[in-house]
Structure 1
Amino acid sequence: MYVNAVPGLPEIDAGDDLAALIEEHGDVHDGDVLCVASTVVSKAEGRAYALDDFPPSPRAREIAARLEEVTGDEKDPRFAQAVLEESMELAIEAPFLLTETRFGHVGVNAGIDRSNTGGADLLLLPERPSESAERIREGIDADVAVVVTDTCGRPFRHGQRGVAIGWAGISASRDWRGETDRDGHELAVTVESVVDELASAANLVTGEGDGGDPVVVVRDWAFGDHDGSDNLFRELDGDFVRQALREWEFDR
């Protein structure tokens, strides 16, 4: 499998045609998977904002004050307001904000970036990342799949890794249930999140900080003859961790 960053992409501004820029700077073939960092998708879609665009509500002030109390760090209630406006639910309110975004992704601070923002205070995630992925895919002359990626942490582990927040032209997962392992045992529960795995592979070569490349081409990888599903984000009735968090409160 070939995983390589597209070099030389310029700084992305609102209104830029990402698909055209990818084709101009990259070598894109039929069957490729394009992994595109959410930061450049957000910039192209005008999702950069100033903190003053989010006048804080009493709820945001309350959240910021609580976070300041438990962490000892100054917290801006305007940032808390931005998180509230981008979230369906706050799963954790202290010692940090763990939220469900409006498209189903659960992460810290609704995925709002304060780095690599292109000079703005805040860079919000794309509103509907799978629709963003489809627009990029439609703009590419080759027959490709597109995965919009982000980085976030994981429970029980240190560090961040790449995850998919949107996709088009590919199923989110492939289903191995009913197939057999090397010993002939039937697989009963294995459903592989391929878009997350592709996002993580891409993150290995995109880099971080000021030297990153936001688009990666994955080539010579095949989904295979498996059933696929677009179920990626757990529904609440099957998400026992999130159910437990609803009953938990940080005590300090």
Structure 2
Amino acid sequence: MELFAVPDLPEIRAGDDLAAMIAERVDLRPDDVVCVASTVVSKAEGRTADLEEFPAGPRAKEIARNLEEISGDEKDPRFAQAVLENSTDVVMEEPFILTEAPFGHVSVNAGIDRSNVPDHDLLLLPERPSQSAERIHENLPESPPVIVTDTSGRSFRHGQRAVAIGWAGMPASRDWRGETDRDGHELQVTVQSVVDELAGAANLVSGEGDGGNPVVVVRDWDFGDHDGSDNMFREMRRDFVRQALRDWEYEP
């Protein structure tokens, strides 16, 4: 397959039509997959905010105070308040805030970004990334699948990588269960999260920092003849790591 960045996209502002801006710069095919960084989706949807919009309550002040003691760095309780208000569950409060977004994604600080926001303090994740992906998918010429990506850390490993937080026009995963390996053994558990894998591949092209390209097209990739599924986020009763974290206490 081939991956290439959509060139010459300007700074995205609230109200911008991402689909039209992409279509002006690349001729798309119906079997392409368009990976769009959540940062530009959020900017187009006006998901910027300032710290003064989040006056800190008692819980946010306590969280900020505890994090300040752990790190030795000053923590703004208004940021902690922003995290709380953009989360449906707080998995951990220290040594960092790990939260669940309303659409199911678990990430540090509710995925709130403090970089690449020229006119505001904060950039929030899209409220409903799969609906955002659906709007772009429907308005692009040829209606190729769309994946909204975000960069996050990884349990048990150093470093960050991109994952899918929303998608449209394709299933999230392809199911290999019931198929056989090269030795004829039936696969029992293999469900491949293709939207995450494509998001990670696109991030290698889009890059990070001030040279990033927020939209990448994946071409000549084929889903294949497999069953698909949109199950992405583990339900609580099957998320054993998250269950364990509920009873875990941080020890410096």
TM-score (norm 2): 0.99
Could you say which residue in structure 2 is the equivalent of 1:210? 210
1:146 equivalent in structure 2? 146
Corresponding residue for residue 91 of structure 1: 91
1:16-165 equivalence runs, <5 A: 16-165=16-165
Determine helix, strand or coil for the equivalent of 1:25: coil
Q: How many residues of Structure 1 are paired with residues of Structure 2 in the alignment? A: 252
- In structure 2, stretches of 5+ residues that fail to align are none
**Aligned partner letter, 2:189:** V
Amino acid corresponding to residue 57 of structure 1 in structure 2: G
**Structure 2 Cα separation of the partners of residues 118 and 199 of structure 1:** 25
Separation in 2, partners of 1:23, 1:112? 28
Shift, 1:151, TM fit: 0.4
For 2:134, what is the secondary structure of its paired residue? helix
Q: SS state of the match for residue 61, structure 2?
A: helix
Q: CA deviation at 1:37?
A: 0.1
How many Å separate the matches in 2 of 1:31 and 1:15? 27
Q: CA offset at residue 249 of structure 1? A: 1.2
1:11-64 deviation line (CA, Å, top 9, x unaligned): 000000000000011221111100000000000000011111111111111110
Whole-Å separation in 2 of the counterparts to 1:161 and 1:62: 31
Structure-2 residue corresponding to 1:228:
228
- Whole-Å Cα distance in 1 between the matches of residues 150 and 69 of structure 2? 29
CA distance in 2, matches of 1:238, 1:52: 38
In structure 2, the partner of 1:189 is 189
Shift of 1:183: 1.1
SS of 1:161's equivalent?
A: strand
Greater mean deviation of Cα atoms: 141-150 or 36-45: 141-150
| Shift of residue 5, structure 1, vs aligned partner | 0.5
Aligned to 2:24, the other structure's residue is in SS state helix
Root-mean-square deviation (Å): 0.7
Moved more, 123-132 or 112-121: 112-121
| Runs of 4+ residues deviating >4 angstroms | none
CA distance in 2, matches of 1:221, 1:119: 38
- For structure 1, the 5+ residue unaligned runs are none
User: Between the two proteins, what is the percent identity of the paired residues?
Assistant: 72
Task: Give the Å deviation of 1:143.
Answer: 2.6
SS of corresponding position for 1:13: coil
